[in-house]
């Protein structure tokens, strides 16, 4: 069963494939030669996820999934939020991390959460699935794996950042994993037919 995901990010595609398992074939924008930039100008995670899912569906007619994810930091009034990927430079996560750590310097409240909102779009309409994982920000970078803000986020009940964890371990508990599990339950309830 094919699921078209609105991304060129190979890492994200692999992560989604790993979470969904062998019953699904995850394809991406690259597989369909869709290279124009999708303008994410929504003002919520839901709006941006819909923009991406609708773009894929309109271009291919295939049932599509768009997602928007971000880091929400309590002490920064929810920033970087929907601007997570371009907080200090477009998809430059080294700079983005530096900016967050700089803004959090001497801040005792390190509470934050990662959120993913998935939008599934097909001929029948749209459905949304949300996942969150709560934790704390570190004061420096730890770990080499993962992507985005993974090196500065320690989930509750763990003593390692996402970037220090093995992919399998992170994928069991991540915000994207939680949203995808809800999505899988929805697909199974529909009889698995896309």
Does residue 132 fall inside a structural domain? yes
State the catalytic residues.
68
| Whole-number average pLDDT of the chain | 92
- In order, the DSSP letters of 86-128 are GSSSTT-HHHHHHHHHHHTTT-S--EEEEEEEEEEEETTEEEE
Please check whether residue 82 is in contact with residue 70, taking contact to mean a CB–CB distance below 8 angstroms: yes
Task: Report which of residues 171 and 7 the model is more confident about.
Answer: 7
Does residue 194 fall inside a structural domain? no
State the pLDDT at residue 192.
Answer: 55
Burial class, 84, CB count within 10 angstroms (exposed 0-12 / middle 13-18 / buried 19+)? buried
Does residue 150 fall inside a structural domain? yes
CA-closest candidate to residue 65, choices 124, 7, 133: 7
| Stretch 8-35: mean pLDDT | 87
> Tens digit of pLDDT for each residue in 68-108?
999 999 999 999 999 998 999 877 889 999 999 999 999 99
In which band, very low, low, confident or very high, does the pLDDT at 31 lie, cut at 50, 70 and 90? very high
> Tens digit of pLDDT for each residue in 134-158?
999 999 999 987 788 999 999 999 9
State the pLDDT at residue 171.
Answer: 83
The CATH number of the domain holding residue 97 is 3.90.950.10
CA-closest candidate to residue 71, choices 144, 136, 139, 140: 136
In which band, very low, low, confident or very high, does the pLDDT at 194 lie, cut at 50, 70 and 90? very low
Domain region containing 60: 2-189
Q: Domain total for the chain? A: 1
Does residue 111 fall inside a structural domain? yes
């Amino acid at each position: 069963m094919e699921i078209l995901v609105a991304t060129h990010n190979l890492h994200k595609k692999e992560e989604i494939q790993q979470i969904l398992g062998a019953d699904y074939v995850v394809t991406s924008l690259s597989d369909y030669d869709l290279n124009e930039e999708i303008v994410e100008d929504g003002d919520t995670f839901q709006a941006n996820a819909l923009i991406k899912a609708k773009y894929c569906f309109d271009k291919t007619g295939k049932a599509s999934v768009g997602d928007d994810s971000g880091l929400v930091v309590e002490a920064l009034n929810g920033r970087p939020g929907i601007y997570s990927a371009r907080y200090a430079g477009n998809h430059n996560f080294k700079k983005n991390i530096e900016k967050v750590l700089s803004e959090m310097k001497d801040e005792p409240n390190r509470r934050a959460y990662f959120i993913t909102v998935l939008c599934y779009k097909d001929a029948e309409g749209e459905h949304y699935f949300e996942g969150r994982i709560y934790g704390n920000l570190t004061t420096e970078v730890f770990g080499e794996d993962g992507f985005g803000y993974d090196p500065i986020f320690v989930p509750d009940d763990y003593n390692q950042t996402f970037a220090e964890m093995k992919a399998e371990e992170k994928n069991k508990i991540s915000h994207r994993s939680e949203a995808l599990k809800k999505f899988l339950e929805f697909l199974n309830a529909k009889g698995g037919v896309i």
